[in-house]
Amino acid sequence: MASEPKVYVVEDDEAVRDSLMIMLRAADYPVEGFSSADDFLAQWSEQCRGCLVLDIRMPGMDGMTLQKELNHRQSLLPIIFVTGHGDVPLAVEAMKEGAVDFIQKPYAERTLLQKIDQAMGIDAEQQQVLQELQSIKERLATLTDREREVMQMMVEGKANKVIAIDLDISQRTVEIHRARVMQKMGTHSLAHLVRMVLAADQGSALA
Amino acid sequence: MAAHLPDLRSPDWQQQQILLVDDNAQNLKVLYETLSVMGHKLLVANSGLKALSMLKATSVDLILLDIMMPEMDGFEVCGRLKAHPEWKNIPVIFLSALDDLDAKLKGFEAGAVDYITKPFQSREVIARVATHLRLRHLEWQQALANARQQIEWQREQLAQVARLATLGEMAAGIAHEVNQPLTAILNYTSAAQRLLTKPAPDSSLLGEMLEKLDIQARRAGDVIQRVRTFARQPSGEATALNIADVVRDTVLFAEVDIRRLKGQVVTEVEANLPSIKLDSVQLQQVLLNLIRNALEATAEANGESPVILRVRRMGILLQIMVEDQGSGLRADIADIAEKLFSPFNTSKKDGMGIGLSLCHTLVQGQGGQLTYRPNQPRGCRFVIEFPLVTAT
Ligand SMILES: Nc1ncnc2c1ncn2[C@@H]1O[C@H](COP(=O)(O)OP(=O)(O)O)[C@@H](O)[C@H]1O
Ligand SMILES: [Mg+2]
């Protein structure tokens, strides 16, 4: 479902935008350009992958405001701010708001490409984590209520005997549930299961 | 310099005042009658002390001073005059029956400009008085011309300092204006270098990029050129200007503040305006000041309406108007018109408050007039009017 990762460029200055897009294409990056924050927001979706190269100063909605709006929409797209001379205090504030990096105009191609690679790397990692979380959630959804109860106690480190007494079922039945849980969650290790459950709890706390 | 300025209260030569000092009433009467035909205002004093106290009350252009007087003689009166900063330039003519060389020399040493021996010939007295008054008048005119020049020079210096200060305020914005094309140039060259390493470089794309590079290099150059034009010392000479050009250049230069304040400037320049003789640097400075104020006031009021710069012909006047829908004048600045155009009134944290006063002086210095009116429904309107007399 996720769309192809690309570099989204939001820059009001036509020449800077055009040249940057040509440069990125020459370096074999998929690119899409926007001349205003509004244009970008209009086509933004959770599916956007890659990174955003964002001019901090623009007429109309500026870069910082777009960042806040994207944060509000819970976008995970990493942002690299492009700043002018003397915008460092703004850039610092943008970093506090979660931007991954900033770069001052005029910049060296290599520096910008490194930052883009890094940002795209962060996005890919985030995607992987999200996908794992998604698959964990999907697996958890296949468990029956009883299996979920048994799993919770397993994760708390309780022995089969204790679980059997607590749930007032036979130890044999516990063993069957336990095997099902491991099978449905696709693992053989209790440690792995614990990690998955924790991740799912944290992931849903984040959402 | 100021100490040498003439008394500005006696510009007209007919209005010059002559002070006659003699202890003898009969002498005074004869002198008075003799000189009254000249039409000047005559003042009389019958003692040195009275003469000095009269000088405190009024300005005098020439003094006829008797030497032999009781209490304070003419030499002493003259000595005191010469020691006084405001009186030392008043010409003194001694009057005396003493027709000896020593007395005359002593009189000249005391600072007198002339000497008349009693009993005098009316025509001689009138001729000498007329000569010295004329000299005094010429001196006065010369001093006035010097003072005018001095003021003109100081005004130009102030304008130059203000231009540099404006550039200082705009420096970050100007850097940005140059930075944009530089960034584009670097991007295009990096891309071109990469394209050239490919097996079959797209030569039409490369050609297109070369054209774009050229445009961006010129764009950076234009910014520098505008800064140069703005910062240059004006020739002081008015040349026939195309107002539309000056307006266009100024708005391009104001781009820096338009970006900073996220504002907008719309120009409405009437077609076929006659050219007008003005100093272009000064005019640009005035317009830029007014535009910047208007942009700042609009931003302060979070206004959306653009600043409008209108130029039109109104009969024999060229009218330039800068209008905004901003915050309007703050009450304490708006209450008196003189206050608005006097320096160091500012409502801004980093404001210097010299913009409007300088605009006022510069416009007046070029024979024009700058006035303020509230704009409808809100904001300010500044109107500059220049007579179109010397249109060529
Ligand atoms: N267009 C305007 N709208 C509202 N107030 C203005 C405008 N132009 C000038 N003023 C007021 O006049 C003051 C003096 O302006 P100026 O002489 O240019 O100095 P400065 O801009 O440094 O304050 C400003 O501080 C502001 O209060
Ligand atoms: Mg100002």
**CA B385 to chain CA mean position, Å:** 17
3-class DSSP assignment, residue B352? coil
For the cut 50, the answer to whether the pLDDT of residue A207 exceeds it is no
Rank A25-29, B35-39, B274-278 by mean pLDDT and report only the highest.
A25-29
Beta bridge partners of A33: A9
**Residue B316 to chain A, least CA–CA distance (Å):** 40
pLDDT band (50, 70, 90) for residue A2 = low
Q: Note whether B183 contacts A: Cβ–Cβ < 8 A.
A: yes
Handedness of CA B297, B300, B303, B306 (dihedral sign): positive
Contacts of B206 in chain A (CB under 8 A): none
pLDDT band (50, 70, 90) for residue B353 = confident
Predicted confidence at residue B196, as pLDDT, reads 93
Residue among A59, A86, A107 minimizing CB distance to B172: A86
Phi-psi region of B253 (alpha: psi -120 to 50; beta: other; left: phi over 0): alpha
> Which tokens belong to B85?
């900063």
pLDDT band (50, 70, 90) for residue B8 = very low
A109-141 vs A190-206: helix crossing angle, rounded to 10: 110
Q: Which CATH superfamily is domain A6-127 in?
A: Response regulator (3.40.50.2300)
| C-beta of B297 in contact with ligand 1 (< 6 A) | yes
Phi and psi angles of residue A54, each rounded to the nearest 5 degrees, phi first: -125, 125
Mean pLDDT across B346-366? 87
The pTM assigned to this predicted structure is: 0.70
Between A202 and B53, residue with greater pLDDT = B53
Mean pLDDT across B66-75? 92
CATH 3.40.50.2300 intervals, chain A: 6-127
Q: Note whether B182 contacts A: Cβ–Cβ < 8 A.
A: yes
Nearest to B111 by CA among B135, B87, B140: B87
Listed in sequence order, the residues at least 6 apart from A5 whose beta carbon sits closer than 8 Å to its beta carbon are A30, A49, A50, A120, A123, A124
Q: How far apart are CA A190 and CA A174, in angstroms?
A: 15
Q: What letters, b where the CB count within 10 A reaches 16 and e where it falls short, cover B352-374?
A: eebbbbbbbbbbeebebebebee
Return the amino acid letter for B282. Answer: Q
For the cut 50, the answer to whether the pLDDT of residue B53 exceeds it is yes
Mean pLDDT across A4-15? 95
For the cut 70, the answer to whether the pLDDT of residue B232 exceeds it is yes
> Which tokens belong to B350?
């980093």
Predicted confidence at residue B2, as pLDDT, reads 38
Contacts of B180 in chain A (CB under 8 A): 13, 15-16, 105
Predicted confidence at residue B337, as pLDDT, reads 66
Contact assessment for residue B19 and residue B61, using Cβ atoms and an 8 Å cutoff:
no
**Residue B169 to chain A, least CA–CA distance (Å):** 13
pLDDT band (50, 70, 90) for residue B1 = very low
Q: What is the pLDDT of residues B91-106, one digit of tens each?
A: 999 998 877 788 888 8
The burial of B145, by beta-carbon neighbours within 10 Å (0-12 exposed, 13-18 middle, 19 or more buried), is given as exposed
Between B391 and B227, residue with greater pLDDT = B227
Q: How far apart are CA B81 and CA B89, in angstroms?
A: 8
Predicted confidence at residue B228, as pLDDT, reads 87
Predicted confidence at residue B14, as pLDDT, reads 65
- Chain A: residues touching B (Cβ < 8 Å): 13, 15-16, 18-20, 22-23, 25-27, 57, 59-60, 84-86, 105-109
Predicted confidence at residue A121, as pLDDT, reads 96
Query: Do you find a cis peptide bond into B119, omega within 30 degrees of 0?
Result: yes
Predicted confidence at residue A130, as pLDDT, reads 87
A7, B145, B213 from A130: Cα distances, Å: 20, 84, 43
Contact assessment for residue A25 and residue B209, using Cβ atoms and an 8 Å cutoff:
no
Phi-psi region of B262 (alpha: psi -120 to 50; beta: other; left: phi over 0): left
For the cut 80, the answer to whether the pLDDT of residue B384 exceeds it is yes
Q: What is the mean pLDDT of chain A?
A: 91
pLDDT band (50, 70, 90) for residue B10 = very low
For the cut 90, the answer to whether the pLDDT of residue B129 exceeds it is yes
**Residue B176 to chain A, least CA–CA distance (Å):** 6
Predicted confidence at residue A84, as pLDDT, reads 85
Predicted confidence at residue A3, as pLDDT, reads 76
3-class DSSP assignment, residue A77? coil
ipTM of the complex: 0.79
Q: What letters, b where the CB count within 10 A reaches 16 and e where it falls short, cover A137-163?
A: eebbeebeeebeebbebbbeebebeeb
Minimum CA–CA partner of A20 in chain B: B187
Residue B58: DSSP 8-state? S
The burial of B344, by beta-carbon neighbours within 10 Å (0-12 exposed, 13-18 middle, 19 or more buried), is given as exposed
> Which tokens belong to B318?
């060229």
pLDDT band (50, 70, 90) for residue B5 = very low
Cα angle: B260, vertex B249, A87; to 5 degrees:
20
Contact assessment for residue B113 and residue B139, using Cβ atoms and an 8 Å cutoff:
no
Predicted confidence at residue A201, as pLDDT, reads 83
Query: Any idea which residue has 């950076």 for tokens?
Result: B220
Between A153 and B260, residue with greater pLDDT = A153
Q: What is the pLDDT of residues B310-341, one digit of tens each?
A: 999 999 999 999 999 999 988 777 666 677 88
CATH number for the segment(s) A142-206: 1.10.10.10
Mean pLDDT across A114-133? 93
Q: What is the mean pLDDT of chain B?
A: 88
Mean pLDDT across B353-364? 89
Closest-CA residue, ligand 1 atom 20, reads B353
Mean pLDDT across B204-219? 95
Q: How far apart are CA A80 and CA A101, in angstroms?
A: 5
Between B63 and B168, residue with greater pLDDT = B63
CATH 1.10.10.10 intervals, chain A: 142-206
Q: What is the pLDDT of residues A167-198, one digit of tens each?
A: 999 999 999 999 999 999 999 999 999 999 88
The burial of B189, by beta-carbon neighbours within 10 Å (0-12 exposed, 13-18 middle, 19 or more buried), is given as middle
Measured from the CA of B382, which atom of ligand 1 is nearest? 1
Helix (H) or strand (E) holding A139: helix A109-141
Q: How far apart are CA B145 and CA B139, in angstroms?
A: 10
For the cut 80, the answer to whether the pLDDT of residue B165 exceeds it is yes
**CA B99 to chain CA mean position, Å:** 52
